[in-house]
Structure 1
């Protein structure tokens, strides 16, 4: 058995951020990471053209801001370099290839017992700690909806987590399901590679440039949210015009308020909207009714054949599968049971980080709050 004050499950940005904060406060801790590297989602599962949509001042981890002289918007490679520097600076040493199978709270001893498979050495390990931090993130496992006939589809099926580029889909008909930032950017990338993309857009969504979002995030420091929302919507109308003629409708709730109450982000346009206006990217306004071999039948009874389907339908937390006492902090869907901004703290020394749907800025805030709470508890 290996003992530590804190066990952190997950070696992504959330786990690394908490480690840095705990190191600063001289608190012993262990990071258990199932992959063979830290930040594995960024290294292994990010598509090639990915860039950070938010300005760098909103994308730093605790104790190491990006330099003002650096780029305003970071590429994937630039962000990974930042992560590498972060790990080196704070001497963070995750234990890799540790797949956590069970975590339970012993009320008698007031300790968490964590069992993990060391897949590299083929052995079973047990860790014990006063505090347990869930840092597996909200993007741990790709979610693909249960579509009637999907198992009969004769083309490629993949989740956006495994999409790299559209290079293999030149001249192919590709359906993108999901109109969040990933879905919209993948549709644009497919077009750039010569594919013929269509994208399912059923729900209302806000669309902005990254510069508008940056301005809004600064304005909200000084103005009420509803005022900033009104300004942003006006500027978006001036930029894009009426998008309803292209199948895109704006929600009744403003973008920042919508983010606060639901966690749903606005779409940051990378060029997709212009291609939709030109007809190069087709909008499908109905959901999928069923699939018959290569044919997709939509809810409005229109149909079309596709060579591939990319599901940009989000992720699901899998923490409930190994965290036996998850109800101390999580709901049945593996997300925080407490509302924002108290989402990060559970009971009996259980915490969760990076599950507030607030990006890297949310990761930073969570890590600082968790480390401070643990420090105060130990005093």
Structure 2
């Protein structure tokens, strides 16, 4: 006898080698007809939440291990952040060899810094190559570990017109791959809601073309803020950039070699603090002093600051030259907005037409994952945990290391190996019969 899954894309056969916890449910299905109407889906492997680069990387590594899986994605495409919430001129800030996912390199004819379109094409071909077919338009509302049954229960909602569909996935492993940048951050600034001009977040910004001739205030001075200000300049806008705190600005390349690659190479031989000093000296020789332009450097070195607080240094691709020439004006923090004006903390007033919030993103894990031991309130794995990619009870995290795509790829490989080892061990063992515990089923 087979037990078929309501959605029709998975089936669990009676002779499968499965964990005892799943058998509890399978043995009970024939006597609980209502379970099917509730649309519960048994997943023979892990559920991966998120079809961005991190989720795809885990899927590819699991495919190599021979472990089945299901990928859930709330958008209608893979890598929705890249496809729908990035600006047109975006390119990878690091060389392609540090951004490729496991098991499949970038095409050789791609440039050293692939464009947004090239990276999306690569991800599409990656998913196709490893036969990763996410369940699109399924938003995870909650995920909770059932202590009684020792299984994860992942509830999703999908909407098609006026039709609302709820599905509950049952699995032994849960991989959180929603990443560091799941939700945009829009700060509360006095008077912003009454501002008469246009206000957009960086996730809504596509090109400076629509701002041509306008006075634009860019709030934020990270890599996105710098690049958006540069793009606005190139489209004949008049940008001012808010710099509230200190920031490290480094050249993207030093003597023709990637600054990031140079730092990685040096860290193999010398301590991080010394690498920071060398980078700052070389940056000063190439860029000169940035403080006289309103870009004060932090007291902590760029790599140490990245490790300690997750704050990425800015890799300059031309914005600093525009700041020197005055085409990009650097201004201090905002006090309030009023009408078509902005009052700055130094008493200065600026007339502006539009505001672009380059204020970053955050994790959305606390909104749906009902777990507090592994993940902190900020949606990141707790730093006190040795393995930041592995929690308890089959919980994993990928894309939260603050080390970009290379960090996600490294963790994806370890997660797949860890799950694969258990999976293969289960296949070696003889299937064990487990009596039905109705108290587990009654919770559904």
| TM-score (norm: length of structure 1) | 0.96
| Aligned equivalents of 1:300, 1:227: Cα separation in 2 | 36
1:289 aligned to which of 324, 335, 346: 335
3-state SS, counterpart of residue 321 of structure 2 = helix
RMSD of aligned C-alpha atoms?
A: 1.5
CA contact (8 A) 1:142 1:315 kept: yes
Q: CA deviation at 1:180?
A: 0.4
Alpha-carbon shift at residue 86 of structure 1 (Å): 0.7
Provide the C-alpha distance between the structure 1 equivalents of 2:100 and 2:360, rounded to a whole number of angstroms.
Answer: 23
* C-alpha contact 1:200 1:283 (8 A) present in aligned 2: yes
Cα deviation for residue 375 of structure 1 reads 2.2
- In structure 1, the partner of 2:155 is 115
Partner of 1:233: 280
- Summarize the Cα distance change of 1:48–1:69 in structure 2 as closer, same or farther, 3 Å threshold: closer
Which whole-Å CA distance do the structure 2 matches of 1:114 and 1:319 have between them?
13
User: Which residue is 2:312 aligned to?
Assistant: 265
Equivalent-residue separation in structure 2 for 1:296 and 1:289 (angstroms): 8
CA distance in 2, matches of 1:54, 1:253: 22
Please list the CA deviations of residues 94-119 of structure 1 after superposition, one character each: whole Å capped at 9, or x if unmatched.
00000111111101111000111122
State the match for 1:10 in structure 2.
50
Report the Cα distance in structure 1 between the residues aligned to 2:135 and 2:384, rounded to whole angstroms.
31
Shift of 1:376: 3.0
Query: Offset at 1:202?
Result: 2.0
Which position in structure 2 is the counterpart of 1:348?
A: 393
Match status 1:213 vs 2:260: yes
Q: For the residues of structure 2 that align with 1:222 and 1:84, how far apart are their CA atoms?
A: 37
Deviation at 1:213, TM superposition (A): 2.8
SS in 2 for 1:108: coil
In the alignment, the residues of structure 2 paired with residue 128 and residue 328 of structure 1 have an alpha-carbon distance, to the nearest angstrom, of 21
Give unmatched runs, 5+ long, in structure 2: 1-39, 254-258, 426-444
Aligned residue number for residue 117 of structure 2: 77
| Partner residue in 2 for 1:142 | 184
CA drift at 1:51: 0.3
Larger Rg: 2
C-alpha separation in 2, matches of 1:18 and 1:341: 20
The residue that corresponds to 1:249 in the other structure is: 296
Q: Is the 8 A contact 2:78 2:124 kept in 1?
A: no
* Mapped pair 1:278 → 2:325: yes
Q: Do the aligned residues in 1 keep the contact of 2:374 with 2:385 (CA within 8 Å)?
A: no
Question: Match for residue 321 of structure 1?
Answer: 367
SS at match of 2:172: strand
CA shift, 1:329, in A, is 2.1
- Give the conservation status (yes or no) of the 8 Å contact 1:59–1:361: yes
Q: Is 2:421 the counterpart of 1:370?
A: no
Displacement of 1:224 after TM fit? 2.5
Partner residue of 2:127 out of 75, 82, 87: 87
| 1:69 shift after superposition | 5.8
Distance in 1 separating the partners of 2:261 and 2:325: 27
Q: 2:98 corresponds to which residue?
A: 58
Q: 2:355 aligns with which of 309, 313, 316?
A: 309
Q: 1:290 & 1:249 partners in 2: Cα distance?
A: 23
Asked if the contact 1:340/1:356 (under 8 Å) is kept, the reply is no
Moved more, 115-124 or 352-361: 115-124
Q: Distance in 2 between matches of 1:24 and 1:252?
A: 45
Q: Please tell me whether residue 333 in structure 1 is matched to residue 372 in structure 2.
A: no
Deviates more, 1:256-265 or 1:38-47: 256-265
Determine the structure 1 residue equivalent to 2:230: 188
Q: 1:329 touches 1:351 (CA, 8 Å); kept in 2?
A: no
TM-score by length of 2: 0.82
Distance in 2 between the 1:214 and 1:165 partners? 30
Q: Distance in 1 between matches of 2:144 and 2:385?
A: 25
Mapped to 1, the partners of 2:270 and 2:125 lie a distance apart of: 35
Q: Give the alignment partner of residue 211 of structure 2, picking from 169, 172, 178.
A: 169
Contact persistence 1:46–1:161 (CA under 8 A)? yes
Q: Aligned pair count?
A: 377
Q: 2:89 aligns with which of 35, 41, 49?
A: 49
Question: CA deviation digits over 1:112-156, x for unaligned, max 9?
Answer: 001111223631111010111111111111101111111100111
In 1, Cα distance between the equivalents of 2:279 and 2:385?
23
Give deviations 1:71-107, integer Å, cap 9, x for gaps.
Answer: 2111111111211121111010000000111111101
Cα distance change of structure 1 residues 69 and 190 upon mapping to structure 2, 3 Å threshold: closer
Structure 1 runs not aligned, ≥5 long: none
**Deviation of the 1:318 alpha carbon:** 1.5
